[in-house]
Amino acid sequence: QVQLMESGGGSVQVGGSLRLSCEASGYTRRPNYMAWFHQAPGKQREGVAGIYTFEADGGPFVDDPWKGRFTISQDHAKRTVYLQMNNLNSADTGVYFCAADWTSGYLLGERNYKTWGRGTQVTVSS
């Protein structure tokens, strides 16, 4: 069973950068797709970016609100997916979750994932 561990969160000022990491473990076959979700205080989780772990299946994807500022990437040897976040603003504050074991449907749909990490907190202040 896949287990996910996020890290890299913290407090930054507006305009700053952070790189989040999601290390996957406990699997014999690599999950087909992994994604990052953002949950702002008092709001539902929303999909930010996703990546096919087998590149032949497709490329990385960043949803429109974060496109141009966030980048998703992976390191197979380290079993880790990264979310590089640049030019952060206060709306980016929240908990960032890593997800794996996509089942079907929209690739950034929260309900379409079976496995979640515990999340890492990001706080952006002015």
Give 38-66 pLDDT, tens digit per residue: 999 999 999 999 999 988 888 899 999 99
Contact indicator for 81, 73 with CB cutoff of 8 Å? yes
The whole-number pLDDT of residue 122 equals 98
Asked whether residue 91 carries a pLDDT value surpassing 90, the answer given is yes
Place of tokens 């507006």: 14
Q: Which residues contact 115 (CB under 8 A, 6 or more apart)?
A: 1, 2, 3, 4, 31, 99, 100, 101
The whole-number pLDDT of residue 57 equals 85
Please state, rounded to an integer, the average pLDDT across all residues of the chain: 95
Asked whether residue 28 carries a pLDDT value surpassing 90, the answer given is no
Confidence of residue 1 (pLDDT cuts 50, 70, 90): confident
